[in-house]
Amino acid sequence: MPNQNSYNIVLGVNIDHVASLRQSRLTHYPDPVHAAYIAEMAGADVITFHLREDRRHIQDRDVALLKQTVGCRTNLEMAVTEEMLSMALRTKPDDCCLVPEKREELTTEGGLNVLADPDKIREATLRLTEEEIRVSLFIDPDPEQIDAAVKCGASAIELHTGTYAQLRGEPREKELHRLMEAADYADNQGLIVNAGHGLDYSNVSALAAIPQIRELNIGHSIIARSIFTGLESAVYEMLKLIQDARK
Ligand code: PXP
């Protein structure tokens, strides 16, 4: 049966690349905590950050300070490892998005393969959920992965939009259709449906128009634009595109 559900959509601003710039010179600036404050003042609903195992951008100190200073929701992206689970259980972000992680990758390439290790993901989900942290699994728009996410007890998924962002023309339209079907299917399974990766000012509107999607997490394009326009304006412009797509 076609799904008629439609929700408000919110923007999560990923501030990792403010930290990338800082770490490139090992200075104390620019500070992602400062960026989070400006993004929140500009209307961001969620502040998202990825603590990678190699600490290439966000540092442990950032996670602790962000949790203490951010007024809106905090969303910690992390690999499913004991080290990251301990960090999350200690700092208690509002949301945890479980992602795959390879040290050699430039950024998160591809979604989590929930089918490959469901026991590990289920256990991590349970431990986080017990502490009232909302767990989202970052997965490709694949019904089998969605079913596996439900079985793991996750309350949310984040659909990986990286392939959509990279493609052009008809292949992009096909991937968009796949994302639409996945969002509808997951919503019907009772999951909260978020999306993100590779979204920018030119490709976000089609994604934001999908009525089941409740949150978009966007980083690189917003931080890149902020160099020229300032962060407040970069966040505001993205928010406007997203909200306009829902009208
Ligand atoms: N969502 C997830 C799960 C991610 O891993 C990332 C990248 O850290 C993003 C969203 C944001 O991607 P981008 O920086 O390409 O906007």
Q: Please tell me the residue having the least CA distance from ligand 1 atom 3.
A: 138
pLDDT at 29: 98
Confidence of residue 103 (pLDDT cuts 50, 70, 90): low
Residue whose entry in the numeric block shows the structure tokens 């931080």: 223
The answer, yes or no, to whether residue 73 has pLDDT greater than 90, is yes
Distance between CA atoms of residues 232 and 40, nearest Å: 9
Among residues 95, 72, 3, which one has the least CA distance to residue 239?
Answer: 72
Distance 1 CA to ligand 1 centre (A): 32
- Cβ-Cβ contacts under 8 Å for 70 (sequence gap 6 or more): 36, 37, 40, 47
Q: Which candidate in 17, 50, 57, 160 is catalytic?
A: 50
pLDDT at 247: 83
Taking residues 118-142, report their average pLDDT: 97
pLDDT at 108: 63
Rounded to two decimals, the pTM is 0.95
pLDDT at 139: 97
- Ligand 1 atom index nearest CA of 138: 3
Taking residues 95-116, report their average pLDDT: 83
The answer to whether 82 is a known catalytic residue is no
- Ligand 1 atom index nearest CA of 14: 11
pLDDT at 176: 98
pLDDT at 66: 98
* 215 in contact with ligand 1, CB cutoff 6 A: no
* 199 in contact with ligand 1, CB cutoff 6 A: yes
pLDDT at 102: 72
Q: Which of 10, 58, 96, 107 to mutate to test the pocket of ligand 1 (most atoms within 8 A of CB)?
A: 107
The answer to whether 197 is a known catalytic residue is yes
Q: Which of 59-63, 100-104, 180-184 has the lowest mean pLDDT?
A: 100-104
The answer to whether 50 is a known catalytic residue is yes
Mean confidence (pLDDT) of the chain: 95
Is residue 138 classed exposed, middle or buried when 0-12, 13-18 and 19+ CB atoms within 10 A define those classes? buried
DSSP lists the bridge partners of residue 138 as 158
